[in-house]
Amino acid sequence: MPPWRYLGLEIGKQTIVPQKLEIKAKIQTLADVHQLCGALNWVRPWLGLTTEDLAPLFNLLKGGEELSSPRELTPEAKEALEKVQHLMSTRQAHQCDPDLPFKFRVMGKLPHLHGVIFQWRNNIKKDQGREDPLLIIEWVFLSHQRSKRTACPQELVAELIRKARVRIRELAGCDFECIHIPIGLRSGQITKAMLETPASGK
């Protein structure tokens, strides 16, 4: 079965990848940056591009209200674009397996958390063959621009989980079987008390 092309995606028997996205590396105006960041935001869920990965590009959106105001790529932004191009040639998402439950894992370091919606095939061991037991369905990210007040760690985790739960209901009409929150209590950033105590002043 040849891959299908639908809404900018190439849908194969088991995988989903964005169709060739032309990355316009010649940036001259704020409008060019808007167009580039919009295209990259669209492919983020399938490629796993974190907010931190794209921050140098998002930072080009700051300042100047006019869409014609001049912009040029910084060395950091060029590096971010190179990473995008590499991920576009190596990463993919998978089609859902209707017989498997969905899971979610929170990843990253504070405050740059992100997560992955996935399924796990217990009957496949990675070293037995070519198939990977991990089926990455979509990546979920927090916004680059958050509200002025500083969010505490549990609020960031809660916001990420909320976004993931909304997305899985849109995709599959269900909830997660399991949500993994890999937080080390000895890291000094998060304590057990912080996780159990509601934020003050709410």
The SS3 assignment for 52 reads: helix
**Residue holding tokens 């976004």?**
163
Where in the sequence is the domain holding 65, given as residue range(s)?
A: 4-90
Whether 152 contacts 159, CB under 8 Å: no
* Residue 65 falls inside a structural domain: yes
Average pLDDT rounded to a whole number, residues 159-182: 91
Higher pLDDT: 69 or 186? It is: 69
Give the Cα-Cα-Cα angle 164, 110, 188 (nearest 5 degrees).
130
Average pLDDT rounded to a whole number, residues 22-43: 82
The yes-or-no verdict on residue 176 having pLDDT over 50 is yes
The yes-or-no verdict on residue 179 having pLDDT over 90 is yes
Task: Give pLDDT tens digits for 98-139.
Answer: 899 999 999 888 777 889 999 998 876 655 555 778 888 888
Looking at the structure, do residues 130 and 152 belong to the same domain, yes or no? Answer: yes
CATH number where 83 lies: 3.30.70.270
Q: What is the pTM of this model?
A: 0.61
The SS3 assignment for 182 reads: coil
Query: Mean of the per-residue pLDDT values for the chain?
Result: 78
Q: How many CA atoms lie within 13 A of 27 on its CB side?
A: 24
Higher pLDDT: 151 or 187? It is: 151
Per-residue model confidence (pLDDT) at position 201: 44
Looking at the structure, do residues 33 and 113 belong to the same domain, yes or no? Answer: no
Q: How many CA atoms lie within 13 A of 15 on its CB side?
A: 13
Whether 71 contacts 29, CB under 8 Å: yes
Percent of the chain with pLDDT over 70: 69
Whether 57 contacts 37, CB under 8 Å: yes
Per-residue model confidence (pLDDT) at position 183: 64
Looking at the structure, do residues 57 and 101 belong to the same domain, yes or no? Answer: no
* Residue 143 falls inside a structural domain: yes
Whether 138 contacts 95, CB under 8 Å: no
Give the Cα-Cα-Cα angle 183, 96, 166 (nearest 5 degrees).
55
Distances (CA, A) of 63 to 51, 155, 186: 19, 28, 40
Using the Cα atoms of residue 50, residue 12, residue 123 and residue 179 in order, give the sign of their dihedral.
positive
Per-residue model confidence (pLDDT) at position 97: 86
